[in-house]
Structure 1
């Protein structure tokens, strides 16, 4: 752990990081009060910014996550398996048929967008906007001091468009419910006003960014790691059962989320260092996932590695609600690519996105032998 300024510490070790993301003494600051006239942020009747449950502490976190969890169940994800397999087959088939191309543009980006859009019941003709909205909001998912000029403004504009769109779509689902997640969330929202419209809209924003960007990065980072370790890719091509372990190793080795932030809620000690309430803790997930005290040869990519305790999906009450869906898409893509394109190889240098919190590729040129 390293102090980097007044009231800010950086955590790199696995043990300390795990305690921060699990411990009740670490959480999020209270929502700021901005008044009722703020154009870019949803606010409640008291002028407080309405946040998604992932950025709240109990009891608000418990209430909202519980409501969303009733709609976004394990059965929901299980029911998606055939459709995800069908979609992966279609996207991989296009890559194979073309013989070469940008894997990000042809597969890693459109697949999660399509999955989350179908899950929410978004009409086909509206789905292209999802990628632009998600990308703009994801680029702003950084600590303020890392944001480039204009990024926050672009994210605010995307958020306004997204919220406006889903406000109308949610109203349609109230009038005529469908067999989709949005209809389920709307039904939850209408039961005793336990989930307000504002809470519904920020939840949908979270589902879009978390369900799209992180899965896109999981796929891109995973394929790149396999191509840079061709013996691992060949092993996967020989044995499809390795796909599950491959996804877990990608999550450890090159996590789609590299940084998460917590606030010290009550005075505590971490790693022998006293931390006062209000201290900001930056957890470097990528560093924790390569802690040599926990992982043997942590810089080696090995899809046969015994499943470890990586922190890619967090821990405790904030464990990622969408982890089963991300894992489903990741293992299906890696398995299908290795099966249908065993000779897949790099066709140029990849380009990384200019973000720190969300680590992923902008382009990944590949060729099919």
Structure 2
């Protein structure tokens, strides 16, 4: 009799537990069925159904209110920590009018036309990466392949000189913890501060370089907006360049890695994509839906809410939207949502968020993943994973991705 009682006492949402990180989807299933608007151990409201997530992302009664939210969780001194002060200036954490002003400064670099024009450059980077590793007969698909492409492209966009890039290719990828919905320890904060200070030092040098030698890049554009004085402060400039660099590669690395893992775990879908390469664009949408590289995004109630599920939510509360759960909700995808199907019709994943914070780089990420995965399958048709069943996941929840994915051919 004892075991079920213990199992029942386990929290419905324990995002950093190894089994949750390995496969969060059965846990989401429980949440959607048992408690679709769930209050977590840390007092946050967790929304898991597609309809609810979708409506929160687009509803103006929900905002970001980052400073107030962080102060409530960590106390009034938290904004003295460099990493929190920097994040408070991220456009991702801003509400209008600041969000509108900051996003307006960078949106031109991500228009559909500009991103389409980057296809030849993306293809060149993928081919050069494969030329380097093919003679070796093996590689880590994350570090040697998925990681190099989006880092190279975001370096291009930000005008980071080629001779500065090696440090970014060899950099550690342990910054994801700052976004997880579990309070950070003082050690976590100290580590994040140290990483932030190093980034800040580098980008301040880059700003100096682009003031003296302007280029056709985002950094030059933002430095000029800062010099205008009314558009951007130096602190905002630094914070948002760091955000663009991180967001510009982290999630795409995971999209490529998670997509490849899903394909190789589903040999019928892999064979289908090899036979019909024209399915790649729809396949990318299905990878985004099936195993999203961003599992969650947060909002704050700007007024009290009484029409979300069965809960009344007071003003100022944090509401966490489980994008990964919404993407597998049978109410939105009635035909076997837990199955990978690259021919699935009407796939509209919520992986890029929604509303005013819809991901700026969504189209760029799609095209990078499309070119990377289709080129890999074409050039290495006999590639096989060392261990598709037990890969090593990164110990973070919001940013879902693999630590490594060894393969050979």
Same fold (TM over 0.5): yes
Q: 3-state SS of the aligned residue for 2:319? A: strand
2:58 is equivalent to residue 22 of structure 1: yes
Q: CA deviation at 1:272?
A: 3.7
Q: CA offset at residue 178 of structure 1?
A: 0.9
Equivalence map 1:297-312=2 (5 Å): 297-312=336-351
Asked if 1:85 is matched to 2:126, the reply is no
Distance in 2 (alpha carbons) for counterparts of 1:273 and 1:36: 30
Q: TM-score, normalised by structure 1?
A: 0.91
Q: What is the aligned partner in structure 2 of residue 322 from structure 1?
A: 361
Alignment match of 1:252 (pick from 271, 289, 292): 289
Q: Determine the structure 1 residue equivalent to 2:386.
A: 347
- Tell me, in whole angstroms, the C-alpha distance in 2 between the residues paired with 1:64 and 1:216: 25
Using the TM superposition, give the Cα deviation of residue 71 of structure 1 relative to its aligned residue in structure 2, in angstroms: 4.2
Aligned to 1:197: 234
* 3-state SS in 2 of match to 1:2: strand
**Contact 1:245–1:307, Cα closer than 8 Å, also in 2:** no
CA distance in structure 2 between the partners assigned to 1:124 and 1:75 by the alignment = 25
Structure 2 CA distance for partners of 1:134 and 1:208, relative to 1, 3 Å: farther
Q: CA RMSD in A?
A: 2.3
Residues 1:57 and 2:64 aligned together: no
Report if the CA contact (8 A) 1:223-1:334 is conserved: yes
Q: Is the 8 A contact 1:26 1:264 kept in 2?
A: yes
Q: Partner of 2:398 in structure 1?
A: 357
Moved more, 29-38 or 322-331: 29-38
**Preserved contact between residue 130 and residue 145 of structure 2 (Cα < 8 Å):** yes
SS at match of 2:320: strand
Which secondary structure does the structure 2 equivalent of 1:140 belong to?
helix
Given that residues 263 and 278 in structure 1 are in contact (C-alpha distance below 8 angstroms), is that contact kept between their aligned partners in structure 2?
yes
1:135-174 superposed matches below 5 A = 135-145=173-183, 147=184, 150-174=187-211
Q: Per the alignment, do residues 12 and 35 of structure 1 end up closer, same or farther by CA in structure 2, a change over 3 Å counting?
A: closer
Deviation of 1:330 (Å): 0.4
Question: Helix, strand or coil: the match of 2:228?
Answer: coil
Kept in 2, the 8 Å contact 1:31–1:49? The answer is no
SS across alignment from 1:135: coil
Q: Which of 145, 150, 153 in structure 2 is aligned with 1:107?
A: 145
Q: Is the 8 A contact 1:234 1:338 kept in 2?
A: no
Change (3 A) 1:188 1:73: farther
Instruction: Provide the rounded CA distance (Å) in 2 between the counterparts of 1:91 and 1:343.
Output: 18
Total equivalences in the alignment:
363
Deviations 1:66-107 (A, max 9, x none): 112134433432332111010111223334332222111210
Spell out, residue by residue over 1:103-124, the C-alpha distance to the aligned partner (whole angstroms, 9 max, x if none): 1121011221111112211122
For residues 260 and 132 of structure 1, the distance between their equivalents in structure 2, rounded to whole angstroms, comes to 28
Which portions of structure 1, spanning 4 or more consecutive aligned residues, are displaced by more than 4 angstroms? 32-37, 131-134
Match of 2:107 among 45, 69, 82: 69
- Cross-structure match for 1:280: 318
Unpaired runs of 5+ in structure 1? none
Give the superposition deviation at 1:133: 5.7
Alpha-carbon spacing, 1:307–1:330, altered in 2? closer, same or farther (3 Å): farther
- Structure 2, unaligned runs of 5 or more: 1-36
